[in-house]
Structure 1
Amino acid sequence: MSKTRTIQAALIGAGKRGRNAYGTYALQRPHELRFVAVAEPDAEKRELFANQHGIPPERQYASWEELLAEPQLCEALLICTMDREHYGPAMRAMDKGYHILLEKPMSHDALETLHLAEKAQQSGRILTVCHTMRYNPFSNELKRLLDAKIIGDLVSAQWAEHVFYEHYVSAFVRGNWRNAGKSSPMILQKSCHDMDMLQWLIGADCAAVSSFGKLTYFREENAPEGSTLRCTDGCAVERTCPFSAIRNYYHTKQGGWYNAVSLKPTLEARMKAIQEGPYGRCVFRCDNDVVDHQTVNLLFENDVTVSFTMTGFASEGTRTFKFMGTQGEIRGHSKKNEIEVNYFNGKQEKIYPPVADGAHGGGDFLIMRDFLTQVLTGDVKGRSDASVSARSHMIAFAAEHSRVTGQTVYLKDFVQSIRSEAIV
């Protein structure tokens, strides 16, 4: 990153994403980024982040409202709150003059999403959305190949998001994103990345969407005989259950899912969290309602068709794809960092893009680098700015509407109806 000074920033939401993905960047590159304030309702998380970054007590806030009631504290603001707490602070922060890096999804609500994009354009503020996959080397190599038309004109694609089963049960059965009424639908919360990638890679807006999906397995009627409300309540099948909280959060190795359960890495802290907190509940007896599998069919305005699948029943977390063109096909596997090109003339090649440091194929660090460059240069049109991200979010909202109603959704009509209903 070409730089001339250190950017000062504030963080709203000091959970895992705020602390680990973006806070770590500042700790490793203090000459580029320094956090000077934090807002977080959980005192333990707030104090942990403040101690890591040397933030004084007078710049530690219990809510985003308190932080944004102050005169503008710095140039940049990172919003890493829960889904339903993105819109309020983002809108107020733009009025205050902040440039913003906003965690996805932009909002749980379609109209709020459109309003955020419009506000960013009107205010002239940077509003970059954390679609980190756009930034990693693997995705950019795939984009280069498709744009170069090495397989001719693109005709159709298959794309799958394989959510590692431990990730699924931790985040979407027991965890913060288990209930759409408290967070957002699965297709928006988890797979807005995929809708964004498809829009970007295909290079056209989506015209129509149909979708099917259900919460099929993680329901009380599927609980094994002898199971209990909690894994620590004497469950008869706990020792053999792949979803056991004791197995996944207590005995897990350093760096595993236990750090979502307890900030303290001790065994005592983990067990207390399992016995008392949401992560110790039986996966068949939670208040979860988001789907555990979903398919989406998409038609883009350039006539490209796509079949997308999300499943929470995967032995590894990865994305796989096949892009089919008039002269060949491109296959890929993100975890293997492998792209395979098969030409119809018989030629074959395998490509292994450079590997960048950091999570999401290096995307977490690379989006920070790009965002800081935007702040330094005043460039409001980033790779995943609000106007671009809002369009791909609409695909996810349309897919959920189709899943619930059973209707094919036409995007232009859908967006118009959202605006019209707001006026009424």
Structure 2
Amino acid sequence: MGQNCSSRGTTLTMPSPVDVIVVGAGSRGGIYSHFASIHPQRMKVVGVADPREFARNQLKQLHRIADDNIFEDWHCLVEREKFADAVLICTPDRLHKEPAVAFAKKGYNVLLEKPMATTAKDCTEIVQACTQSGVMLTVCHVLRYDPTIHKIKVLIDAGAIGDVIHIQHLEPVGFYHFAHSFVRGNWRNEAESSFALLAKSCHDIDLIHHWAGGRRCVKVSSFGALSHFKKENKPIGAGDRCLECAVERDCPYSARKIYLDSVKKGHVGWPVSVICPSSVPDIESVTEALKIGPYGRCVYECDNDVCTNQVVNMEFEGGLTAAFSMVAFTEQMCKRKTVISGSKGELSYDGDEIRVFDFLTQKITKHTAPSNSPAHSIMSGHGGADYHLIDAFISAVATNDPSLIRSGPEETLLSHKLVFEAEQSRLEGRVVHCGAIDQSYMTEQH
């Protein structure tokens, strides 16, 4: 069991490596904290808070965390004297704001999983708390740290395509990824988490805002809906759970195929690792999870209500336009595709390499960027960007240099507000003029 709130510590001097506390020891918390295993001379995990005993104990054993620094409730950590340099907040979306504000006020530098929070008002309060306390805030927009995607920004800033005129950007979520996370999983229901554009695609709106280069978005419109994963589309003869379904063999979203068949092939990483929160995945534990847990449900019998497909159209200052599409029903998983049209050339990105066509010379130049992240590591996700993000944050804290952070407070707040404005447009069926977001929408989840 975790410690109760009666435990008290004393102020420690800040040594090197950077000492961090992990709040939320699930999938993302485990990934980011793994940096300490790769670079123990640069980062040390000295505390953890998570209501789940198994998750706490995993981090305790991996990082040899003292018993006095292990808690079920993060409030207990805040009550103590400050004993680390930074906190990694990887709680569920709706539980971001309170710990982020509390730890910032306590003087901790904050790495915060995206989205920042589930309302624009809460996002603003987080930024204000970090700014007023003089601490660094890194929001986990990992795509900014993908080496090849970062190269896109470098090329734009170097004038490779002249003035940016139009941006087309696609996020193919992946058919089984969407079923896992947004039909059966933690982000399936808006009231329990957040709407899909915020939970899944705030990365992408942030990138578009980033590529626009400081130009303010003035107008936004958006359309989207929940398609296919509805009770009326349930096949005749289908059961409520995949393990007891007569037509499971003909269903591409079968939980047996997504999880159990993966374990039989020796794959126990994501998404299999998510469905057994209290044990290491194996045939027995995964079978049991599919019998009684949420991931074994028929995709047509879940309480999901978030969009499966959505488009966002944006107009920025100076006439720059952008079009974003998110769709669940794709072969490729999260392999973004981008075309940026400029006055002097066109840049395209297929998820692997960048291609720049120069209008003057009519020549094509191809660009890639090495990941430089540890091979075969749990930190190799997002094209190695998971590694590069935490690397930048720890370097920034160690050297007191916030310029190393690519996803800092103010710009990230602006891109988050653009997400809320886009969703307001979708819900209200109208063009939204940016900066005039409805105050009720800033404080309530629709």
Superposition TM-score tier, normalisation by shorter sequence: over 0.9
Q: Residue 380 and residue 289 in structure 1: after superposition, are their counterparts in 2 closer, same or farther (change >3 A)?
A: same
Give the SS at the match of 2:126: helix
Contact in 2 for aligned 1:162/1:314 (Cα 8 Å): yes
Whether 1:41 and 2:51 are equivalent positions in the alignment is: yes
Instruction: After TM superposition, give the deviation of residue 74 of structure 1 in Å.
Output: 0.8
- Contact preservation (8 Å) 2:120, 2:443: no
Candidates 369, 378, 399, aligned match of 2:400: 378
Whole-Å Cα distance in 2 between the matches of residues 257 and 103 of structure 1?
18
1:398 aligns with 2:421: yes
Give, in whole Å, the separation in 1 of the partners of 2:312 and 2:225: 12
SS at match of 1:101: strand
Between 276-285 and 355-364, report the one with greater CA deviation: 355-364
CA distance in 1, matches of 2:146, 2:442: 38
Partners in 2 of 1:79 and 1:410 — Cα distance? 32
Instruction: Answer whether contact 2:309 2:326 (CA < 8 A) is retained.
Output: yes
Residue 322 of structure 1 is matched in structure 2 by 339
**Structure 2: which amino acid aligns with 1:261?**
I
Partner of 1:294: helix, strand, or coil?
strand
Indicate the residue corresponding to 2:174 in structure 1: 164
Q: Sort the Cα spacing of 1:220 and 1:356 in 2 relative to 1 into closer, same or farther, 3 A.
A: farther
Deviation string for 1:28-54 (max 9, x for gaps)? Answer: 111111101100011111111111111
8 Å Cα contact 1:12-1:81 kept in structure 2: yes
Cα gap change, 1:397 to 1:419, in 2 (>3 Å) = closer
Q: Do 2:339 and 2:346's aligned partners in 1 also have CA atoms closer than 8 Å?
A: yes
The residue number in structure 2 matching 1:244 is: 254
Q: Does 1:343 align with 2:358?
A: yes
In 1, Cα distance between equivalents of 2:299 and 2:161:
44
Give SS of 1:268's match: helix
Distance 1:227 1:370 in 2: 49
Give runs of aligned pairs for residues 21-60 of structure 1, distance below 5 A.
Answer: 21-60=31-70
Residue 12 of structure 2: aligned partner: none
- Tell me, in whole angstroms, the C-alpha distance in 1 between the residues paired with 2:311 and 2:65: 45
Of 191, 194, 216, the match for 1:205: 216
CA shift in 2, pair 1:368/1:418, >3 Å: same
Question: Is the 2:162–2:342 Cα contact (8 Å) retained in structure 1?
Answer: yes
CA contact (8 A) 2:121 2:443 kept: no
The residue that corresponds to 2:225 in the other structure is 214
Counterpart of 2:431 in structure 1 is: 408
Q: Displacement, 1:420?
A: 9.5
- TM-score, structure 1 normalization: 0.94
Q: Which runs of 5+ in 1 are unaligned?
A: none
- Structure 1 418/377 Cα, relative in aligned 2: closer, same or farther at 3 Å? farther
Cα distance per residue 1:137-159 (max 9 Å; x no partner):
11121111111222221111110
Aligned mates of 1:24, 1:373 — CA distance in 2: 15
Deviation at 1:265, TM superposition (A): 2.1
Aligned residue for 1:310, secondary structure, equals strand
Contact 1:249 1:256 in 2 (8 A): no
State the distance in 2 between where 1:147 and 1:330 align. Answer: 13
If the length of structure 2 is used for normalisation, what is the TM-score? 0.90
Q: Counterparts of 1:279-290 in structure 2 under 5 Å?
A: 279-290=295-306
CA distance in 2: counterparts of 1:320 and 1:151, whole angstroms: 17
Native 8 Å contact 1:118 1:387 kept in 2: no
Give the Cα–Cα distance (whole angstroms) in 2 for the partners of residues 42 and 202 of structure 1: 42
User: Mean alpha-carbon deviation: is it higher for 66-75 or for 28-37?
Assistant: 66-75
In structure 2, the residue corresponding to 1:392 is in which secondary structure?
helix
Q: Helix, strand or coil: the match of 1:302?
A: helix
| CA apart distance, 1:101 | 0.3
Which of 390, 399, 407 is matched with 1:368 structurally?
390
Partner Cα separation in structure 2 for residue 61 and residue 228 of structure 1: 41
Opposite residue 383 of structure 2, the aligned amino acid is: G
> What's the secondary structure of 1:251's corresponding residue?
helix
Contact 2:105 2:129 in 1 (8 A): no
SS of structure 1 residue aligned to 2:322: strand
* Alpha-carbon shift at residue 205 of structure 1 (Å): 2.3
User: In the alignment, does 2:106 pair up with 1:96?
Assistant: yes
Q: Which digits, 9 at most, give the CA deviation of each residue in 1:220-250, with x for residues without a partner?
A: 11111111111122x1211121111111111
What 5-or-longer segments of structure 2 have no aligned partner? 1-14, 374-379
The SS at the match of 1:128 is: strand
